[in-house]
Chain A
Amino acid sequence: MRALKFIALMILAAACAKDNSSNSTTSSSTSTSSGGVDLTGAGATFPYPIYSKWFSDYAAQSGVKINYQSIGSGGGIRQLSEQTVDFGASDSPMSDEEMGKAKGGPVLHIPTVLGADVVTYNLPGVTAPLKLTPEAIAGIFMGSIKKWNDNRIASLNTGVKLPGSDILVVHRSDGSGTTYIFTDYLSTAVPAWKTAVGKGKEVKWPVGIGAKGNEAVSGQVKQTPGAVGYVELAYAKQNNLPIAAVRNLAGQYVAASVPAVTAAAAGVAKSLPENTDYRLSIVNAPGAESYPISSFTWLLVYQHQKDATKGKKVVDFLNWALTEGEKTAPSLDYAPLPSEMAAKVKARVATIDFSGAK
């Protein structure tokens, strides 16, 4: 009897443990009309820190409560398509196919802040920041550059004593916007990468080991001499990781920073067509100060809101975020939109109407 009870307890414990790991995906069905919450959103995890700050700041100012679930861009797009949330959020733009499937009509992409990827490494004894070209980064992550003292790295870093050890590549194992930005950049800057690997939230990596999340990638890199990986700028800044300076389109080596990322958006903004839908990539942006591995992150809303009350609240929030919200972004290491672009995006927000009601 005692044994039986024990087995039952153990099974219960196991069931609970399993629940924990799958919670993030199964608890995604939201009740849009739960008490006290005015708007619900779901999506990207990468901008979650700044979004949650925005939502709490905005609630304090306007009294509008927003419930956001950071379940990942894929989940955000799915839930927006099914109209179970009032807005979605994504680190990569929706494809035309995905836009076509959205049940509530045309979807607007509203860029909110910018993020960037940095290349971090573990080279004992190397103190000066490493300099890398897109070709060198592609070579390392494709496995064609195998040793740290390879001439393709050494020639960029004269005066730095590089070890002859093997390079261990660490990449993300989970689908993520971080990987999308990184592979989008390499596909844009290096033709060989585009044909061999391509871009996506998860790709087939030629070499290396996969780690789940920024923390696991940086943990793995920190522990393994000779390791190299890519993580988000905000994460790298807050953890003081060594980061490489990357050569941009103008030939300058730029270390990632909040102003350098905003500069990349400004570089692209100059050549922006008037009627853009903002589903655009800003990797490898022109401009001497631009950091090349940068990207927007987007909020996704329906152009034709079906509920006028909620629709107005969404519009009000977007306008607030693009004005007041942008100011607080650098405090959390997110780059704000260049001001002229924020003004243009607001004009796009103004095209939202409330005619979606059937």
Chain B
Amino acid sequence: MTSLPAQWLDRDRRRLILEQSAIGDTVYGFLTAACALVVPALVVAIAVSIFAAAWPAFSKLGFSIVTSSDWDVAAGHFGAAPALFGTLVSSAIALIIATPLAIGVAIFLSEFSPSWLRQPVSFLVDLLAAIPSVVYGLWGIFVLIPLLREYVMPFFRDTLHLGATPLFSGPAYGPSMLAAGIILAIMALPYISAVSREVLMAVPRSQREAALALGATRWEMIRDAVVPYARSGIIGGIMLGLGRALGETMAVTMVIGNRPEISASLLAPGYTMASLIANEFSEATNDLHLSALMAVGAVLFVITLIVNAVARWLVWSVSRNRAR
């Protein structure tokens, strides 16, 4: 074997490495692109199949699916307005309760908590997200609802004399829009607080020190320097929680009372779109019924899309304002 000059070898080896890495880059690029495209393709495929299955109902019933309140399977009337109303209202109640609580938790953990407390409390709050929704439902039936029926509802209605107002009128059986809202609040809370906590902790130290250097108190520093900096992330967290609340099925079905009626009272039973589908899908044999349930699913899909779009827009406009 004749030995080649050492620098030839070196040169060839370098070129080889260069070419190899070029191939690696291409393959890797293709792979990641494929991964990135499969997911949107799935979303499109789901949308297409839902709308295709829902089409017979839409073409036959038109907008009455979302405007009519008459859901009577035997008569062939499919008006899901009460379910649409219930989905929006229960999610709204959930956010009204969960948002201040979750942001409070996040601010405490990132700004005030002694370090030995931070880990265990964060862990326990995050753990709420890991509890299966059927367990929340059972807890709702056996703990929350009796509590609401025995103490909370009489308190609002009789002690505070709010029974005359539409919000708290009517008999209090327990399963109600209020119960659904509270359960959803507990379920959405860990999402909001975990995201908020992480973005608050990611606020640069210099931001805090600058505020303190200007003479701000601790409260002023949090209010004027830390929270505004993290605002877009917090809004993202809230929208994640809202997404969770809109789509939640099992726990809500177990506590909302499943009554397809629009009522102003928080104590009255209601219905949500996800519950409606979960309740009726497995026993639906009639084609129009099945298609109407698909149509309800399609409406829920569109609402979720709108929520996500609004969230994007909010985050974008908030971060743009900050940049100015």
Chain A residues near B282: list those with CB within 8 A.
Answer: 24-25, 71-72, 74-75, 174-175
* Cβ of A223 under 8 Å from chain B: yes
Cβ of A168 and Cβ of B173 under 8 Å apart? yes
Which residue of B75, B247, B259, B280 is within 8 Å of A174 (Cβ)?
B280
Please report the C-alpha to C-alpha distance between residue A94 and residue B283 in the assembled complex, in whole angstroms: 12
Q: Answer whether residue B28 sits at the interface, using C-beta atoms and an 8 A cutoff.
A: no
Tally of B interface residues using CB under 8 Å: 48
Interface residue? B202 (CB, 8 A): yes
Interface string of A68-83 (1 = CB under 8 A from B): 0001111101100000
**Per-residue B-contact encoding for A104-141, CB less than 8 Å = 1, 0 else:** 00000000000000000000000000000000000000
Cα of A77 to Cα of B289 in the assembled complex, Å:
15
Q: Is the CB of B191 within 8 A of A10?
A: yes
Q: Is the CB of A209 within 8 A of B284?
A: no
Chain B residues with CB under 8 Å of A94's CB are: 285
A18 at the interface (CB under 8 A from B): yes
Contact A219 B142 (CB under 8 A): yes
- Asked if A275 is at the interface of the complex by the 8 Å CB criterion, the answer is no
* B254 contacts across to A, CB distance below 8 A: 211-212, 216
From A3, A174, A201, A203, residue with most partner B Cβ within 10 Å: A3
B279 and A175 within 8 A (CB)? yes
- On chain A, the residues within 8 Å of B133 by CB distance are 17, 20-21
**Contact partners of A347 in chain B: CB under 8 A:** none
A98 within 8 A of B: yes
Q: B198: which of A6, A14, A95, A223 is its contact (CB, 8 Å)?
A: A6
Q: Determine if A13 is an interface residue (Cβ-Cβ < 8 Å).
A: yes
Which chain A residues (37-83) contact chain B, with CB distance < 8 Å? 71-75, 77-78
Q: Is the CB of A209 within 8 A of B194?
A: no
A sample of 11 more A-B contacts (CB under 8 A), given A2-B202, A176-B283, is A2-B198, A3-B195, A7-B236, A17-B133, A18-B247, A21-B250, A74-B282, A175-B73, A203-B72, A203-B73, A212-B253
Q: List 13 A-B contacts (CB under 8 A).
A: A10-B195, A17-B133, A22-B249, A22-B278, A74-B285, A168-B173, A174-B282, A202-B283, A203-B73, A204-B73, A209-B258, A223-B142, A223-B174
User: Which residues of B line the A interface, CB within 8 A?
Assistant: 70-75, 129-130, 132-133, 141-142, 145-146, 149, 171, 173-175, 191, 194-195, 198-199, 202, 233, 236, 240, 243-244, 247, 249-250, 253-254, 257-259, 269, 275, 278-285
Interface residues of A (CB under 8 A from B): 2-3, 6-7, 10-11, 13-14, 17-18, 20-22, 24-25, 71-75, 77-78, 94-95, 98, 166, 168, 173-177, 198-205, 208-212, 216, 219-220, 223-224
